[in-house]
Amino acid sequence: MKKGKLLNSEISYVISKMGHTDSLTIGDCGLPIPDGVQRIDLAVIKGIPKFIPVLQAILEEQLVEKVILAEEIKENNSELNKEIIEILKQEERKSDRLINVEYIPHEYLKQETAKSKAVIRTGEYKPYANIILVSGVTFN
């Protein structure tokens, strides 16, 4: 049995195949998933699973050098934005690596998901609960 915390085999498989600058998207239940991008649907009912625990589990497995968030999260879901930033700061302290945070308009974020190796759909039911995680490298 797998020793790590992340139990979802599809997510583990996607992360294991990722290289430097490849991306993985975590989205709320309303984020459109482009044709041709692998969909990993975790949504069970409205609100389950929540966005933050999924993000935290993935950050246990994936080394991230950059994240992309919708500019609109700052005004329309500021509490979630603050929570994400705090989690990223914790990751920086654990790994002794900086994580660049980029904000772009939500429409562009939706377009950027087409470049992701996969989009993980959560049951989150709050606006702009979407993030693109860009992989770093484990050697430096």
Q: Which residues have a catalytic role annotated?
A: 20
> How far apart are the C-alpha atoms of 110 and 62, rounded to whole Å?
21
> How far apart are the C-alpha atoms of 53 and 71, rounded to whole Å?
22
**Of 58, 119, 61, 59, nearest to 89 (Cα)?**
59
DSSP-H helix ranges across 9-96: 9-17, 51-61, 73-76, 78-95
